[in-house]
């Protein structure tokens, strides 16, 4: 016999969710920087584990596989940095130097519009807001022009954080399997294997797919912007692709930001950029994404937005990226528990085992 009525169980569930979310936010505020480093390391190790597993299937020892994958990855990132970072640095500095002129041009256009409206007794209550916006953009542009290189390359503390991320990711690749299996062993059977498989499947489908889709978006936009002769096309294309990694809103934020900046110089060019970017985004969402991601989240859009807000509060951009797969895992396990309550305990192999169950429990020689 159930000790609680359905209404009582529902109330207790919501109370538990609210208290857990509040505690998570408090922990995030206290250890936000540490959580960011750990999340970055975990995501990097998760991604690098796939080529490691491919080498393991080719009978390469895990230690050698980790060494090869890690070394090649670092070299690739260094080479990409040497090839792309100087151009991005130059474009950021040039953009920061040009924005004040674009803002002045916009202010002139606003004054002309204001006089035109005044002659016709048309009230433009938004003028003060637009003037405030342009002044803030000008201040921000001046700051970018002065500190563009520092923003891109980071400070000494950021370099230290990068080294910590690399070291932690390496240790997670070597010993993360044993640590993960230890955590799963704390969860009573049969839920331990289910949690591990659910986390693995959700992150595999969502995280890797988002990164690939963002890369595809950027690679498609850069040449398209080059054909349109968009100034700072590399910066805008890669920026939109990078923001595309953020679920739901990232792509629109990137497209909107690029359009606003370009509108200061050429409104028609800004409209062309919006049209091309939205067309590429539709191709990505309707043609590429379904084949790459399949049935993935199963969350109501309201819950997705809530997950994004909580993730941003806890871990910034990284928190936003991992919030949806974690929410998807939570919903999947909750649905599974409800089904088990109605129909009896289902089999353990509810999710196909991938990373969480395939990583060796201890590092191999």
pLDDT in tens, 50-101: 888 888 888 888 888 889 998 998 898 888 878 777 777 777 777 777 777 7
Q: What is the pLDDT of residue 121?
A: 67
Rg, Å, the chain Cα set:
25
Give yes or no for a contact between 135 and 110, defined as CB atoms under 8 angstroms apart. no
Mean of the per-residue pLDDT values for the chain? 73
Domain boundaries, the chain: 32-186, 191-354
Those residues with Cβ within 8 angstroms of residue 159's Cβ, 6 or more apart along the chain or in another chain: none
Q: Which of 283, 205, 274 is nearest to 240 (CA)?
A: 274
Q: Residue 252 above 80 pLDDT?
A: yes
8-20: average pLDDT = 73
- 325 against 145, higher pLDDT: 325
Model pTM above 0.85: no
**Highest mean pLDDT, choosing among 11-20, 107-116, 211-220, 356-365:** 211-220
Q: What is the pLDDT of residue 276?
A: 92
Spatial contact of 318 and 36, defined as CB atoms under 8 Å apart: yes
Say if residue 347's pLDDT is above 60.
Answer: no
- Kindly list the distances between the CA atom of residue 75 and the CA atoms of 133, 177, 195, in Å, as whole numbers in the listed order: 42, 25, 35
pLDDT band at 274 (very low <50, low <70, confident <90, very high): very high
pLDDT of 306 over the 70 cut: yes
Q: Does the pLDDT value for residue 349 go beyond 50?
A: no
CA distance 308 to 47: 22
pLDDT, average across residues 323-352: 64
Q: Does 231 score more than 70 pLDDT?
A: yes
185 pLDDT exceeds 90?
no
Q: What is the pLDDT of residue 147?
A: 52
Identify which has the larger pLDDT, 223 or 1.
223
Give the pLDDT confidence of 146-173 residue by residue, as tens digits. 554 455 455 456 667 778 888 888 888 8
pLDDT given for residue 259 in this prediction: 87
pLDDT at site 109: 67
Highest mean pLDDT, choosing among 66-70, 122-126, 242-246, 316-320? 66-70
**Cis upstream peptide for 66 (omega within 30°):** no
Instruction: Report d(CA 175, CA 167) in Å as an integer.
Output: 12
Query: What's the pLDDT score for residue 275?
Result: 93
Flag whether pLDDT at 134 surpasses 70: no
Q: Looking at residue 39, what is its pLDDT?
A: 78
Out of 3-17, 21-35, 70-84, 119-133, pick the least confident: 119-133
CB 248 within 8 A of CB 305: yes
């Amino acid at each position: 016999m159930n000790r609680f009525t359905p209404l009582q169980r529902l109330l207790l569930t919501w109370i538990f969710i609210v208290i857990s979310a509040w505690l998570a936010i408090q922990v995030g505020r206290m250890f936000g920087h540490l959580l960011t480093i750990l999340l970055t390391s975990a995501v990097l190790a998760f991604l690098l584990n796939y080529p490691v597993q491919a080498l393991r299937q080719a009978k390469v020892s895990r230690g050698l596989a980790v060494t090869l994958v890690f070394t090649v990855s670092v070299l690739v990132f260094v080479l990409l940095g040497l090839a792309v970072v100087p151009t991005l640095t130059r474009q950021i500095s040039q953009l920061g130097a040009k924005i004040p002129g674009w803002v002045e041009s916009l202010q002139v256009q606003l004054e002309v519009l204001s006089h035109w409206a005044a002659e016709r007794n048309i009230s433009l209550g938004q003028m003060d807001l637009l003037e405030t916006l342009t002044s803030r953009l000008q201040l921000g542009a001046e700051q970018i022009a002065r500190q563009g290189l520092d923003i891109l390359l980071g400070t000494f503390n950021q370099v230290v954080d990068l080294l910590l991320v690399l070291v932690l990711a390496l240790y997670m690749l070597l010993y993360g399997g044993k640590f993960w299996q230890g955590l799963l062993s704390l969860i009573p059977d049969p839920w331990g294997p289910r949690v591990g498989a659910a986390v693995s499947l959700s992150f595999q489908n969502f995280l890797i797919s988002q990164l690939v889709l963002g890369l595809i978006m950027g690679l498609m936009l850069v040449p398209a912007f080059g054909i349109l002769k968009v100034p700072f096309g590399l910066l805008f294309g890669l920026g939109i692709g990078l923001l595309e990694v953020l679920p739901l809103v990232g792509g629109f934020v990137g497209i909107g930001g690029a359009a606003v900046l370009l509108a200061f110089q050429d409104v028609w060019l800004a409209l062309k950029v919006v049209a091309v970017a939205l067309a590429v985004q539709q191709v990505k969402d309707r043609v590429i994404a379904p084949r790459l991601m399949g049935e993935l989240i199963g969350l109501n859009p309201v819950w997705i937005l809530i997950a994004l807000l909580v993730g941003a509060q806890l871990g910034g951009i990284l928190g936003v990226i991992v919030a949806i797969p974690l929410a998807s895992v939570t919903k999947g396990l909750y649905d599974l528990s409800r089904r088990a309550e109605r129909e009896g305990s289902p089999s353990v192999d509810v999710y196909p085992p991938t990373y969480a169950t395939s990583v060796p429990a201890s590092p191999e020689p």
